Amino acid sequence: MNLSRSALLDYYYDELYPELVELEAERRKILKWAAALALIVALPAIWLSLQTLKIDSETPLWIAAAAAGIFGFGVNWLMLSYRRRFKRRIFSKIVTKIDPSLLYLPTGTIDRTLFTISGLFGDRIDHFSGRDLIRGEIGKTPIAFSSVKAEREYRDARGREHRSVVFAGTFIVTEFHKSFSHTTLVVPDLAEKYLGVFGGWLQTLSGKKVVRLDHPGFEKEFVVYADDPVEAHSILTPIIMEKILALRHRTGSNLYLSFRLNKLFIAIENGGDWFEPSLFRSLLRFDVFRGYIENLNQILSIVEELNLNRRIWSKE
């Protein structure tokens, strides 16, 4: 549902503004506490760093990292209540305004199994979390999406454990009426982007079937892997490739797609904060409010656009 600017203004001022004023007062209070916390953490850290600098050049770095960690944890703790109130009192109403049939669960997430079976990020995920689950139907097409963070553990040369982020962003699951016998993956062509002519050489060494498509613009952004190249060509029609490209440019984020088990999985690597309130941006700014609606519409429009091409996907 795309609301006109005048309708957005009416909704913003008539229905949400009084509650936004209350939340803004809370945000300003948290900002003051965060500034005080920064001083409390920074001053001892600076003093300790100066004391240890003469003895060990690495210790000040560890002190700075610890101070940053303490500050980040403190700010996150201060923001917990503010986030909960924003999502319960503001964002849930935005979702209902966009489409009353959608169900919004602030603490819900896409099922970890669905994330794994997409085949986009490997089988081993050691830590998985998410929030802001929204599910329902657009027309006759079921859709579910949430913010997701997936991590793997690894050890460095000294045996110390670390975590690496495999994916952080919005993960979408939707369905089509066409059966897929095989798996087709569309992933960012980072090799082509950063390694130029060597990208294609490295891709051939991956041991997977790379599908070449007659679309230079698409192949500049993506590489396609498939069990069955013929089926991949039947799925990735010129119209669908144009729509995927348009989504990539519209989001400005790395985009991953998996056609598998009669489902379409879409991962938008946007950091997962599209629906999060910011400590440093006032909710009384209309452009901030409008951003939440635009991000939500951006996801829902994926299904709407694919619905326009239902005959391409349906069994006939």
Please check the confidence at residue 71 and state whether its pLDDT lies above 90: no
What is the pLDDT, as a whole number, of residue 63? 78
Pair 265, 186: CB distance under 8 Å: no
d(CA 109, CA 128): 10
Bridge-partner residues for 151, per DSSP?
127, 165
Average pLDDT over residues 287-298: 88
For residue 203, CA distances in Å to 215, 233, 304 come to 18, 19, 33
Dihedral of CA atoms 191, 226, 302, 175 in degrees, nearest 10, equals: -150
83-99 pLDDT, tens digit per residue, is 999 999 999 999 998 88
According to the model, what pLDDT value does residue 54 have? 67
Amino acid at site 237: T
pLDDT tens-digit series, residues 127-161: 999 999 999 988 888 899 999 999 988 888 777 78
What is each CA distance from 122 to 115, 138, 231, 233, 276, in whole angstroms?
10, 29, 22, 24, 27
Which tens digit of pLDDT belongs to each residue from 218-253?
A: 999 999 998 888 998 988 888 889 989 998 998 889
Lowest mean pLDDT among 36-50, 142-156, 271-285: 36-50
Q: Is the pLDDT of residue 278 over 50?
A: yes
> How confident is the model at residue 65, as a pLDDT?
81
pLDDT in tens, 188-206: 987 544 444 344 434 433 4
Going by pLDDT thresholds of 50, 70 and 90, the confidence category of residue 108 is: very high
**pLDDT score of 203:** 46
pLDDT score at 300? 86
Tokens 């656009």 sit at which residue?
305
pLDDT tens per residue across span 156-180: 877 778 888 999 999 999 986 677 7
Is the CA virtual torsion 81, 272, 280, 301 positive or negative? negative
The region that residue 239 occupies, defined by phi over 0 for left and psi between -120 and 50 for alpha, beta otherwise, is: alpha
- So what's the pLDDT on residue 167? 93
Nearest to 300 by CA among 259, 245, 250, 236: 250
Residues near 199 by Cβ (< 8 Å), separated by ≥ 6?
Answer: 189, 191, 192, 193
pLDDT score of 204:
38
Span 259-275, average pLDDT: 91
Is residue 154 a contact partner of residue 124, using CB atoms and an 8 Å limit?
no
Angle at 146 between CA 194 and CA 87, to 5 degrees: 120
Of residues 188 and 311, the one with the higher pLDDT is: 188
In the prediction, which pLDDT does 177 show? 62
Q: How confident is the model at residue 1 (pLDDT cuts 50, 70, 90)?
A: low
Largest pairwise CA distance in the chain: 77
Distance CA(172)–CA(127), nearest Å, equals: 19
| Tens-digit pLDDT profile for residues 3-34 | 666 777 888 888 899 999 999 999 999 999 88
Proportion of the chain above pLDDT 70, given as a percent? 87
Reported as a pLDDT band with limits 50, 70 and 90, residue 2 is low
* Sign of the C-alpha dihedral computed for residues 272, 277, 282 and 285 taken in this order: positive
Burial state string for 76-111 with b = 16 or more CB within 10 A and e = fewer than 16: eebbeebbeebbeebbeebbebbeeebebebebbbe
Answer for the pair 142, 279: CB distance below 8 angstroms, yes or no.
no
